[in-house]
Structure 1
């Protein structure tokens, strides 16, 4: 067990401690217990990319370096601020007060002092951003810098990239001075409390809502491993019912099977409980009646997309889901299947070829079966906006779409689904031989996006790109064959 000796805090440590004191302590003394996922690293990388762009948009200025040397960063900042008659914008300026260190994204000189601009890769101001900025402003002001205003610069989701590297307008700065000024009064209390936490032993805090709000905690598995094993069917599998779940837990109900049937009024919740108690799946014969009316050929369709915080293709917006891959299994009346697919890993805008190949393969008649129609139909609508000459044909695809998700939710449940109707939870219960767990490299949508980014990176080798190509095709094809098998199960075949 490490001996608590650290009292120095940073902005990120304080934010972590306000979320959970145990997270702060573990992040200081037990970093070996941290689990960093590729997805969380991708979020971190996106933040760095937006920060790099902010220095271009708010420049010119001086970047304070020495990421791993606090003393040198503080000294370089002090030197830059003392240059009489040559005030300039500073990026990553370092300040310290009461053993709290902060680095300011942008410190811009104005009449009578400086403006602080914190840069975030979100599309709006969040409550935790205000806390973040209050900590910075408190340290900077107490370090002797006159702050005039505090701004939160975030991504404008309405920004449309016109190309040629012109990102003016991507970031919009909101004045949050009033909110930050009010919060600054609480910072000294936070600092004293969290420094006391660091002087003590590991806090005993059970896992709960704080493990994912406002951020997923990288120490969740460490903390969960020290707690008693969950019930086989915990009440938390009742989705979209936070108030009910909290009430049941407060009353001592941990196992859903122990909850009185009359406590659950939602038919889907009742179905989940009954299946958990009996161990038997539920299949409503009405599903077969609904599906038997579908004509042929049947097209089982799935898309994969990429969403850049900083758009790289003209005509796209920040975080817009841009499709780069589709898979389709086509079923004829005699039960025969053939697969069609499209995947573009060139790094160029894939949308025109995506659209044209999709139209060629889906024809003009027959139902198009998807799982969560809003996603695919939304992407088709985007494509129709981008390509007016294809718009009518593309929008006609949306008229043919049939969503298997609500049909499945209303007519099927298996205890192994654990309250979820995700296709990845449903498929193992109807076709266990097609389990996603046996897929390499790409086994979910998040991994598909990471695979795309890796495959299109200029430094990725041809062999690795080929491996990722195969993995992406297997994954997207698994989604569509999954829908084939699901429809067969719902239809009683």
Structure 2
């Protein structure tokens, strides 16, 4: 049997641990899936396959089992043949037993002594005593899926070979190490046409060519023992062996598990259908679960429920009490607290709840608070947005894995007379170049001309400036003192910073302003700028009248759009989200699809398209024309981010006049 063989693989085991019901929906074309993974996209965004190829170079005698990936029996047979050797290292070794199937990244056999090495595109600090297990003795949540994954692999191998003595390791990028050569990342190119599974075109033959590797291994046997003896559980109601046996049985028999619904898991479920999916006739696994377990029908699905309430930390406890609809909520059970001078988190939640129940689409505005806030800002107003990435394999000698890379910014100015200027932008689209210091010099040049207030949206820009500050502190840049002083002027230090500062021009976070003084029901609880912009456009007749005109007619300059470009378009009496009018940066994927599919990557919910595009620029071979086209799309994307902030400011300004 080939692809028809139903096996609980390690990826399906991980999916089943998230929610056993997902095993029934996965890989079925009739169900909508917002998380259809594309290996090429993931490779671009996180560099995982590059790390895997570098890891293999640590074992130059390793034998790769490749080809015929769907034939589990053939893969197992080829593995068994290699395992007859007393000493052998195998990449992608396959083990099949009782419906369980795994492939290991690296397996080292010396007699009956086995090293199981799982390669991850993550980083670790070898001096972090609480890397996997927190100070209170519990497993650190983000590591849980990875550790249970390795536990599953070791368990399956031990079932196949009971006499083996197996030790398990994670191999990852070591934060304490630095690259020994320039251009390390460029030696591992990503291509759709590569014959191997990773899609990596490796342009180096041995570790000797790259010096000391940035990868390291860390033993996890003690933690796996804790998983096996159920000291660490994924779910309180299932032991480790029960989870394997029950998930295997459900998947083998293709039956719905009927696992209880969970607020956080169901809220993030990928098996929900969008309106577009409904038009295609695709089913919703989310709806099926709530139909079966809560007897929801058409009326219940139409009712406002608790899943979209912003930052709703009480959702899980209330679901356990059977409370899932907004009409059943009270101020007491959401923990309502008022806060002087601004909206508290729960006040904002209650406004959302009441407006949804009353079918009230009008915005809430704390006019006095907003007026006081705006009155403290100095013209000209500067709006900035950064696009960034982190790379597992460093660009330059002396750089660490996963250092922040700032490759692009956009900068709009709102002048006191109402003129809006796309004043400057920066992009470094060259492969293998560490751009941060030139990026900062360009930013300093344009923001140091006056003392106007600077705006960002969310914490990202402040985080990046802190990272560049640290990079500068150990650099040999001639102007490092001036650049570090500039960072201190326009930002504030992180909580764990050795140096503490808050600049005189510390950037104003427009997101915080929104949270304090404003709520728009059209955002449906989201504070993402991609949700706030269309909501504001929908609500503001001023913006509608203005931006329905070509930008050349309304005193707005642009570096990437022609004077006849119109930002506001309506379809069926609804404002079209301007972000949907931008060119796509990765095949035909939308920003939402990219972010959902790469949701495991930190901070992917803001800038997934740019992150992917930058990976494409760095690691794929493309013509000058293709590079120009992709860079043009990035510039347009980033320009809209800062223009969106300007539009939100214009809306607020009009509200308080």
**What TM-score, normalized to structure 2?**
0.66
Match of 2:219 among 175, 179, 199: 175
Is the partner of 1:122 in helix, strand or coil?
strand
What does 1:69-468 align with in structure 2 at a 5 Å threshold?
Answer: 69-84=71-86, 87-110=87-110, 113-123=113-123, 125=132, 126-144=143-161, 146-164=164-182, 165=184, 166=210, 168=212, 170-181=214-225, 183-184=227-228, 189-203=242-256, 205=258, 208-209=261-262, 212=265, 219-221=271-273, 222-224=284-286, 226=288, 228=297, 230-231=301-302, 233-242=304-313, 244-264=314-334, 265=336, 266-276=346-356, 277=358, 278-285=360-367, 286-339=369-422, 340-347=424-431, 348-364=433-449, 365-372=451-458, 374-384=459-469, 385-386=471-472, 387=477, 388-389=480-481, 390-398=483-491, 399=503, 400=505, 401-432=507-538, 433=568, 435-441=578-584, 443=591, 445-468=607-630
Counting helix residues as a fraction of each chain, which structure ranks higher? Answer: 1
- Counterpart of 2:50 in structure 1 is 49
- Counterpart of 2:649 in structure 1 is 487
Q: CA deviation at 1:254?
A: 3.5
- Counterpart of 1:26 in structure 2 is 25
- Counterpart of 2:195 in structure 1 is none
* Cα-to-partner distance string for 1:247-267 (whole Å, 9 max, x where unaligned): 433444434255334544022
Aligned length: 485
Q: Which runs of 5+ in 2 are unaligned?
A: 124-130, 133-142, 185-209, 230-238, 274-283, 292-296, 337-345, 492-502, 539-567, 569-576, 586-590, 592-605
Q: CA deviation at 1:414?
A: 0.8
- Counterpart of 2:7 in structure 1 is 8
Is the partner of 2:53 in helix, strand or coil?
helix
RMSD: 3.3
* Cα-to-partner distance string for 1:254-282 (whole Å, 9 max, x where unaligned): 34255334544022222322333343211
- Counterpart of 1:64 in structure 2 is 65
Counterparts in 2 of 1:77 and 1:120: CA distance versus 1, 3 Å: same
* Cα-to-partner distance string for 1:275-332 (whole Å, 9 max, x where unaligned): 3334321111221222122112211111011122333344544333311110011122
Counterparts in 2 of 1:211 and 1:394: CA distance versus 1, 3 Å: closer
Q: CA deviation at 1:473?
A: 1.6
Is the partner of 1:103 in helix, strand or coil?
strand
